[in-house]
Structure 1
Amino acid sequence: MTDITTPPDPTQNASLRELGSELMRDHLARKLDGYALYLYGVVLKRLELLGEAAEVLVEAAHKEPMHWGSWLELATLITDRTKLNSLVLPDHWMKHFFLGHAFLEQQLNDDALDIYFALQQQGFEKSTYLIAQTAIAFHNRRDVDTAITTFRRLQKCDPFRLDNLDTYSNLLYVRELRVELARLAHEACEIDKYRVETCCVVGNYYSLRSEHQKAVLYFQRALKLNPQYLSAWTLMGHEFMEMKNTNAAIQSYRQAIEVNRRDYRAWYGLGQTYEILKMFFYCLYYYKQAQQLRPNDSRMLIALGETYEKLDKIQDALKCYYKARSVGDIEGTALLRLAKLYDKLNEFSHAAAAFTEYVTNNEPHADKNEISQAYKYLANFFVKRNQVDEAYQYAQKCLEFEETKEEGKALLKAIAQKRSQQEEGEMQVEDSVSVIRVRPRLAEGTPNNQFTPMNLSFTT
């Protein structure tokens, strides 16, 4: 049986409720300073009195604006931009750090970067916190190379800093930079092997080596150090998925959502898990949650579209694929899905248009099997329409791939036959025209006055 560390339910903690009652009495008597208000806000949040917690934490920020803990706890209670704009915050420079952090949590990465760049120009250019936050913003925007470069700069500024190294290790994992990830894991262990970030980095290292059991062990170690550590819950869910342990994966993702309901990766992971279990209505719900958190992420839209297809909701699937294409197709699959769906619907012209755009936009970095099949489809499409020049162009492309080389040769033979037939037809037309021009006009009513359809086209 898989051991998963599950934090206790704080709402069932009698001591916490008693502490909340005491703080409430002192709050009503106006006896709480900024730090005590922060404590009261945290207690209310743990008791799931979220509205009251937000009000108290705003009050704490007014009384003690330099206490960053109040701002951080407040940020976890902001569900959207409307809620953020409704807060009456103190007119203090710390507010800008809070807004940048809140925008980042809301996946409003461009707004966050604007604030962070402005702060760097106002005297905080050497702040390692701001460098790390900009790296995270680039990570959220899927600008992996810029994010890695920023983290490397951060390490040069402060080689002993462990904060946010879990995010850095995720980026190295995505790029499969094994040597650099191994070095990072070794350095983190030398600095402090009992930090949650260190456990996460080492877990990612073992995951990249496909040693999933060891990876899970390190993520569990991180959770023993801090049961509220979001990254470990999500990454452990991914590992259980790799190990095909869907029950443990679901439990891990659910715990991640309990820690932070804005973690789109956990919602997306739940969607993938239920998709494997073929429970498509559950799958649809979780993908929708992920898409709401990342409205401009084409991966969420593609996942939604595929689920709608499986539920036979074709129009909804088409809408998802079109939107994925319009927001910027990260993985280059939206057009491919559109083309295949149109082909399934027997809308061949639309399918060909989508395939044409797909091969034009994705040729350098597309999956070889997918792009070769796209070329084959287009070659066949134009052969059937007797557009031999276009068909020849795509059939030649088929020869570049092992998967379609033989079919490409067969298509070229068929194209050559069609081309020769067309040339023969053109010659016959020319001969008919010349006969019409030189033959004397016959008397009406004679047997020779029976025009063929080909002749009729030239007597208008």
Structure 2
Amino acid sequence: MKNDKYQGLHIFAISFILCYISILGACTPAQNSNNFAAEDSTASEAIRKINAEITQKPDNPELYYRKARIYYNELKAEQAYSNIENALHLDSLNAIYHFHKGEILFALNKTKLSSKSFEKAVALNPDFYDAYIKLGELYLIVKEHKKSLACFSKAQEINPAEAKPYFYKGMNFKEVRDTANAIISFQRATEIDNSYFEPHLQLALLFAAKKDKLALQYFNAALKLNEFNPDALYARGLYLQEQGKFDEAVKDYRTLLSVNKDDYRAHYNIGFINFLNKKYPKAIENFSQTIMIYPEYTQAYYMRGLCHEAVGKQQEALNNYDYALQLDSTYIKAIEGKKRVGK
């Protein structure tokens, strides 16, 4: 009897422990972290509102997903991550949750883990267009071009009326120096969506590199869509400069400087044009402004020295050639400049 009695107590104790463990295991994320006061005391109104909803429905994964989205949009990736994990704890087969987890991980610079989340999203939903786009972009960034192209091809199958997959296929082809296919892809993107700025700019850059007059047509189209885009303004200015259309080039550079007064490239190129036109004092001012913005720009010191040399200021020329050589001791033009000024 004594043994039976203790055996019963033993069984009861085991049952109690198992029950307690099962209760702990069944705890929802909200029950384990329901102390919202521990969160940022400066939480937004949107976060406070969603916290109130979670208090009422702690087992609802959609609420944690929504909270993760809010934090993500507030650029609080760490908080977003903990909440998307809560959502996935409650619903691990939701492709959208895995997709957003991938976005958050990417924001946290965890690209490998990010790709795994996007891969999980498309595994759960093989027609998930946005997930293929994100995964393709990520593969493009890490230069896995075959995988990237495969993702964008799949996105094209899902939604052939979208321009974005063609644009990104073009970027892949451009990176592997397949210019012909890059042009075809970018042109197809503009045919689908003529208001899509990026493929117009890429076509302009590719045709400019080929010294094809079509470049100007695409630059103009790009700037019609985004008239103050710094990259397009600089690139068109450079193209016009190389074509000898200096006044038009300077106009683009000055427009660029109205957008960003510290764009050293524009200051330098205006200086170079002034140098070619033998406007040496103006060129010196331009190169000095370039150096003020970008003190490590070797060529700017050399060009400023060349301007001083052109107006007979030998010592100033020498000083600038010396500065250039301090930055790059093998800079041949500066070495030759020092020889010319006789020191």
TM tier relative to shorter chain: 0.5 to 0.7
Deviations 1:4-54 (A, max 9, x none): xxxxxxxxxxxxxxxxxxxxxxxxxxxxxxxxxxxxxxxxxxxxxxxxxxx
Q: CA deviation at 1:398?
A: 1.8
Q: Which residue of 1 aligns with 2:228?
A: 296
Q: Distance in 2 between matches of 1:341 and 1:384?
A: 15
Q: Which residue of 1 aligns with 2:293?
A: 361
2:177 aligned with 1:206? no
Q: Which residue of 2 aligns with 1:381?
A: 307
Deviations 1:148-173 (A, max 9, x none): x556665454353636967996x89x
Contact map agreement 1:376 1:404 (CA 8 A) in 2: no
Q: Distance in 2 between matches of 1:301 and 1:412?
A: 36
Counterpart secondary structure, 1:228: coil
Q: Distance in 2 between matches of 1:284 and 1:408?
A: 35
Pick one of 246, 256, 268 that aligns with 1:336. Answer: 268
Q: Distance in 2 between matches of 1:167 and 1:266?
A: 27
Pick one of 194, 198, 201 that aligns with 1:265. Answer: 198
Pick one of 147, 153, 162 that aligns with 2:99. Answer: 162
Q: Could you state the TM-score of these two structures normalised by the residue count of structure 1?
A: 0.50
Task: Tell me: CA distance 1:163–1:362, structure 2 relative to 1, closer, same or farther (3 Å).
Answer: same
Q: Distance in 2 between matches of 1:372 and 1:303?
A: 21
Contact map agreement 2:149 2:172 (CA 8 A) in 1: yes
Deviations 1:149-207 (A, max 9, x none): 556665454353636967996x89xxxx6xx2222111221233433333233323433
The 5 A counterparts of 1:388-403 are 390-391=316-317, 393-402=319-328
The 5 A counterparts of 1:149-188 are 149=75, 154-158=80-84, 160=97, 162=99, 180-188=110-118
Counterpart secondary structure, 2:143: coil
Q: Which ranges in structure 2 are unaligned for 5 or more consecutive residues?
A: 1-43, 52-65, 86-96
Task: Tell me: CA distance 1:383–1:156, structure 2 relative to 1, closer, same or farther (3 Å).
Answer: farther
Q: Which residue of 1 aligns with 2:254?
A: 322
Contact map agreement 2:70 2:80 (CA 8 A) in 1: no
Pick one of 275, 289, 300 that aligns with 2:208. Answer: 275
Counterpart secondary structure, 1:278: coil
Deviations 1:28-87 (A, max 9, x none): xxxxxxxxxxxxxxxxxxxxxxxxxxxxxxxxxxxxxxxxxxxxxxxxxxxxxxxxxxxx
Q: Distance in 2 between matches of 1:156 and 1:416?
A: 68
Contact map agreement 1:233 1:252 (CA 8 A) in 2: yes
Q: Which residue of 2 aligns with 1:234?
A: 167
Percent of pairs with identical residues: 17
Q: Which amino acid aligns with 1:290?
A: A
Task: Tell me: CA distance 1:152–1:412, structure 2 relative to 1, closer, same or farther (3 Å).
Answer: farther
Pick one of 167, 192, 196 that aligns with 2:129. Answer: 196
Q: Which residue of 1 aligns with 2:241?
A: 309
Task: Tell me: CA distance 1:310–1:150, structure 2 relative to 1, closer, same or farther (3 Å).
Answer: farther
Q: CA deviation at 1:413?
A: 7.5
Q: Which residue of 2 aligns with 1:456?
A: none
Q: Which amino acid aligns with 1:287?
A: F
Deviations 1:354-386 (A, max 9, x none): 1111111122xxxx6xx1121122223324445
Two-structure CA RMSD over aligned residues (Å): 3.8
Q: Could you state the TM-score of these two structures normalised by the residue count of structure 2?
A: 0.65
Q: Which residue of 2 aligns with 1:445?
A: none
